[in-house]
Amino acid sequence: MAVLNQSFEEAIRVTPQGNNKYSANLRNEWCIGTVPHGGYTTAVLYNLALTHFAHAHPKQYDTPASPISLQLSFLRRTAAGPATLEVEDVKIGLRTSTIHIKLLQASEKHGKPEVKVAGYITVSPPSAEVGISAPTGYKLLPSPPPGSKADGKIDFPALSRTGRDGAWSKLEPPFPEFRRAAAQLELYGPGKSDTQQKRTRSMAIDQWARFIPGGDMNGRWTDAAVVYLTDMFPMALDGFDNVSATAAAKAEGKEAPDFKAKFWYPTVTLNIDMKKHLPKEGVEWLYSRIVTKVVRDGRTDLEVTILDQDGEVIALSTQVGLVVSAARNVGTRKFVKL
């Protein structure tokens, strides 16, 4: 039987090295410019938590523990290539356990290992996830545009087959040479960023996505892949490009197109709350709403809500990001310019 999302599983592989140390190899095809995509890197750390508890605490739980919360700080830019992962057991409990993790790579300045990403991951086995469940009445506002079905839902087979259904159509992420990590999924939305933002009168983006790691059209969203999706929103970044280019042009008295695609939006902190496990066989479609409330002094906020086809919340995430020159991504590293 083929491994689900085999190229993705290989890309996030974590190998035990002993003494709470592990190794990984960050892949070039999952980069933004020369820097591994933040959601992809987070998926590697998600897999680190799975690997650590399977390797270091195999008898702690009667079912495998998986992350329910991730709180990460991206301290320095990472690079494609080998990485060392370190784990400290902060709390090993009956229902939840928390580990402190570090991702280390060689410093660009002195070549010695330094911490690139650090944070905390809390895990819990599904068998321990018991307690009160209650409806809250939460719904997306404004509601996403409708599909072609009588009840307003999307005809996903038609969307997949023709690239269109109702208000939704296939989107081509901008600047694919730079944002190569975006090639690992197909995106569908009710228009490009400017169209969507005019509709909502805000910096909000709706998208449905299919996972195609390594071009595999049979790819499926799994729990680890959801982590990647929380940080994958090319149309929202296109909206940032428009806002950033307009602001930079106004400051220098030039035309906005002169500044388009000259920005990079690195993640500073990323927090993820995993709300619902996906089935082991994965799912084909997941919806995301991405909202930005304030862009000020080169710093942004991002709030992402991920739902399944039944409208149930799969994951929530918030992050702090920066708006900086794309030159800081490429720097002295070898990469084809935009």
pLDDT tens-place string over residues 280-293: 999 999 999 999 99
Domains 6-127 and 156-330 are alike in CATH topology = yes
Q: What CATH number should be reported for the domain whose range is 6-127?
A: 2.40.160.210
The answer to which of 179-183, 270-274, 291-295 has the lowest mean pLDDT is 179-183
Percentage of the chain exceeding pLDDT 90:
68
The first and second tokens of residue 260, run together, are 């388009």
pLDDT above 80 for 83: yes
Annotated domain spans of the chain: 6-127, 156-330
Whole-model pTM: value is 0.91
Per the DSSP assignment, residues forming a β-bridge with 318 are 271, 303
Q: How far is CA 70 from the centre of its chain?
A: 12
Q: How far apart are CA 327 and CA 338, in angstroms?
A: 10
CATH of 156-330, one of 3.40.50.300, 2.40.160.210, 3.40.50.720, 3.20.20.210: 2.40.160.210
Res 267: pLDDT: 92
Count, residues in the chain: 338
Question: Considering just the CA atoms, what is the radius of gyration of the chain in Å?
Answer: 20
- Asked if 3 and 280 touch (Cβ cutoff 8 Å), the reply is no
For 283, list phi and psi in degrees, rounded to 5.
-130, 155
